[in-house]
Structure formats: structure tokens, C-alpha cells
């Protein structure tokens, strides 16, 4: 659920700060003896009251209608209406009420209507202008805040969608591996199922999280490799060099494993030509490189999902802070991922 970073309580606080500053400049003057508070006269007091009322009539009732949607014609009409309201309210207070109660009025009796309207349109422009500026600034803050919320929600939705593609892809490959072992009555079939259960626990409980420990991702990759070793009846066809200063450092899940999966699925490997994996991570950066001999097996239609998803997720999670270099020669395929934490 969206919660604005500028709720009503903060909006009220902004208004209070505005009025404190406004009143300071209205009633405080600087003299030779320093700042002095000027005692407001009757019509300065009534002017402040009329200013305040006009300010919030425009702020609370007029501007929301002008900006839904904004049109210049509506803005001009609104300005005229609020100016007339200001003039009428001022006439009521300063020419009728104060005259009856205090026997004082602000304008001379022979003041023409034309001059009165002209004069009041000028004074009305101040509360209209200040209330409009404040309203637009608050609207802009809330709009930018809401747009950021929508962008983040879109990113979260896209990441969840990409994760949902990764999990079925992995299960599809692994079940094919186990199917082959069961078909050929391999004694390692049960061990493979057990390994798959461990990995599925990872995909169920760790993968949905936004962040996991780096050690969990490493453990997941090693389990995946062990499944492949059981399927190929061969050990040590993956050479891993891991240099991590803090395995408790948190990273998004499935940031490293797609490169391992790609090498195991499409590479040609053995103890003589192993897949080479290098991982370095400290508080400043992460470097992950996977290099393998290109296999001759035909790629299935799902072959690009892992790398494509990884590329998309990196763009979302680490914009301008990562590089993913893919180098392919006639015989060697290498992927080098670098992420700057700072």
C-alpha cells in the first residue's frame, strides 16, 4: 500500500512554518535599536484575517479543481473569482462590520467601485500567489514521491516475474537430469533427489527474499554442481576459486548461479578441461567469472532464459554499478560479472 512521505501532519507543519515566517515579516521591523514588533492597527488586523481566509479558500477549494485537470482558462476564471471573493469579504468586514461596531471604515466614502476593485485585485494577488505556490510545491513533492513508489513497484514486480522464470527453468533442467539417472538405473539417483530437495528448500525459503547471504548463494551453486557430478559420474570438472572476506554479506538471490547453470548446460567439461569459476568479494566490489569450453550439444529453446533474466535483473538492481562482459571465441565462452557496492 502506498504511504506518502508527506502526510497531512507534515503538510500542516509546513503551513505553520510558512505562517511564522509570514507574520515575522508582517509585524517585525528593523530599527536602530534592533528588531521591533509593530502593533498592528485595526485594518492591518482585518487585512491579515481576510488574507488568511482567502489563502485557504484558494488552497482548499479552488486549486484542487483548477488542477483536475489543469487548464489556463480555469486558472484565469479561478483568479477572477477569488479576487472578487477577496474584494467582497474585505468590503463586508472593513466597510460594513467595522463601521457598525467601531464606527470606522477603511476607504473614503467617495471611493469609486472601479478604484476599489482595482485596489483589491492587487492586494488579492498576494494570498492567491502564495497559496498557489505552496499548493503546487506540495503537489509536486507528492507527485514525485508517488512516481518513485510506482517505479519501485514496477521494479519489484519485474524482479518477481524474472524470479518466477528462473525457478521453473532450474527445476526443468534438474528433473531432466534425475530422469536420465533413473532411466539408466544409476545408484546416484536417490542422492540426486536428496540434493534436489535441498535446492528446492533454497528456492522455496531463500529465493523469494529480496536479499540472502552470499554463503547461501555459494552453497546453492555447489549443490547444483554436485547434482551435475552425480549425473556425469565424474568429479572435479568444476574448479572453484573463492576469495570472500565476508560470506554474511547480503546479495539478491540468483545473481551468480545463472552463469554456473549456463556453463554446465552448454559447456564441454571434464577433469582435463574443467569449468573455471572465480569469485572475489569484499566490502567494495564483487567479481565473478565463469569460463568453459564451448560444447557441441544442440541448445534447446530455453537456453537463453537464465542469462537474459540475469541481465535484466542486474539492470534493475545495480544500474550504472555493474558490468557483465560476455566473451565468446571459437572454443571458449567466458562471463565476467563485476558489481560495485559503493
Give 253-302 pLDDT, tens digit per residue: 888 988 998 888 888 888 888 999 999 999 999 999 999 998 876 454 43
Task: Give domain status of residue 172, yes or no.
Answer: no
Report whether 120 contacts 87 (CB < 8 A): yes
DSSP code of residue 286: E
pLDDT of residue 248: 87
Q: Give me the chain's average pLDDT, please.
A: 86
Residues 6 or more apart whose Cβ sits within 8 Å of residue 81: 62
CATH classification of the domain holding 196: 3.30.565.10
| Structural domain harbouring 56 | 8-148
In terms of domains, do 267 and 330 share one? yes
Instruction: Determine the average pLDDT of the residues in 127-147.
Output: 94
Domain count of the fold of the chain: 2
In terms of domains, do 209 and 335 share one? yes
pLDDT at residue 170 is higher than 70: no
Residues 6 or more apart whose Cβ sits within 8 Å of residue 327: 333, 334, 335, 336
In terms of domains, do 229 and 132 share one? no
- How many percent of the chain have pLDDT more than 90? 47
* Residue after which a domain boundary falls, among 148, 171, 194: 148
| Helices 189-205, 214-232: crossing angle, 10 deg rounding | 160
pLDDT of residue 307: 79
Q: What is the pLDDT of residues 156-166, one digit of tens each?
A: 777 776 666 55
In terms of domains, do 131 and 231 share one? no
In terms of domains, do 221 and 302 share one? yes
In terms of domains, do 200 and 329 share one? yes
Residue 19's φ and ψ, nearest 5 degrees, are -70, -35
Between 187 and 103, the higher pLDDT residue: 103
Task: Give domain status of residue 174, yes or no.
Answer: no
Task: Give domain status of residue 159, yes or no.
Answer: no
In terms of domains, do 201 and 336 share one? yes
Q: What is the pLDDT of residues 207-253, one digit of tens each?
A: 778 899 999 999 989 888 887 787 666 677 899 999 999 888 999 98
Task: Give domain status of residue 286, yes or no.
Answer: yes
Helix or strand or coil: residue 264? helix
* Residue after which a domain boundary falls, among 148, 169, 202: 148
pLDDT of residue 166: 57
Task: Give domain status of residue 161, yes or no.
Answer: no
Report whether 315 contacts 298 (CB < 8 A): no
Task: Give domain status of residue 232, yes or no.
Answer: yes
Alpha carbon distance 304, 1 (integer Å):
35
Task: Give domain status of residue 284, yes or no.
Answer: yes
Task: Give domain status of residue 154, yes or no.
Answer: no
Q: Which of 200, 202, 334 is nearest to 260 (CA)?
A: 334
In terms of domains, do 209 and 289 share one? yes
Amino acid at each position: 500500500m502506498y504511504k506518502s512521505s508527506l502526510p497531512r501532519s507534515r503538510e500542516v507543519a509546513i503551513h505553520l512554518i510558512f505562517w511564522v515566517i509570514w507574520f515575522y515579516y508582517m509585524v517585525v521591523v528593523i530599527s536602530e535599536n534592533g528588531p521591533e514588533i509593530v502593533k498592528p492597527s485595526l485594518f492591518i488586523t482585518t487585512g491579515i484575517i481576510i488574507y488568511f481566509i482567502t489563502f485557504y479558500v484558494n488552497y482548499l477549494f479552488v486549486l484542487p479543481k483548477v488542477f483536475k485537470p489543469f487548464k489556463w482558462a480555469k486558472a484565469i476564471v479561478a483568479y477572477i473569482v477569488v479576487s472578487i471573493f477577496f474584494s467582497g469579504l474585505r468590503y463586508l468586514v472593513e466597510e460594513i462590520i467595522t463601521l457598525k461596531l467601531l464606527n470606522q471604515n477603511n476607504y473614503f466614502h467617495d471611493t469609486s467601485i472601479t478604484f476599489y476593485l482595482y485596489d483589491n485585485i492587487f492586494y488579492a494577488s498576494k494570498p492567491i500567489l502564495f497559496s498557489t505556490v505552496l499548493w503546487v510545491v506540495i503537489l509536486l513533492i507528492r507527485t514525485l514521491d508517488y512516481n518513485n513508489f510506482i517505479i519501485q513497484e514496477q521494479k519489484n514486480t519485474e524482479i518477481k516475474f524474472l524470479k518466477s522464470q528462473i525457478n521453473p527453468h532450474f527445476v526443468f533442467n534438474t528433473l531432466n537430469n534425475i530422469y536420465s539417472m533413473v532411466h539408466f538405473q544409476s545408484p546416484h539417483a536417490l542422492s540426486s533427489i536428496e540434493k534436489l530437495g535441498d535446492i528446492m528448500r533454497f528456492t522455496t525459503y531463500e529465493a523469494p527474499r529480496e536479499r540472502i547471504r552470499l554463503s547461501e548463494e555459494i552453497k546453492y551453486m555447489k549443490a547444483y554442481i554436485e547434482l551435475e557430478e552425480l549425473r556425469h559420474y565424474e568429479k572435479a570438472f568444476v574448479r572453484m576459486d573463492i576469495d570472500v572476506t565476508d560470506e554474511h554479506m547480503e546479495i539478491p538471490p540468483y545473481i551468480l548461479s545463472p552463469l554456473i547453470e549456463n556453463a554446465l548446460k552448454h559447456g564441454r567439461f571434464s577433469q582435463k578441461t574443467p569449468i573455471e569459476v572465480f569469485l572475489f568479494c569484499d566490502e567494495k566490489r564483487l567479481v565473478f567469472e565463469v569460463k568453459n569450453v564451448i560444447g557441441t550439444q544442440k541448445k534447446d529453446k530455453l537456453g537463453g532464459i537464465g542469462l537474459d533474466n540475469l541481465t535484466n535483473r542486474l539492470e534493475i538492481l545495480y544500474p550504472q554499478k555493474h558490468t557483465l562482459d560476455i566473451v565468446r571465441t571459437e572454443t571458449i565462452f567466458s562471463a565476467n560479472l563485476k558489481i560495485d557496492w559503493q
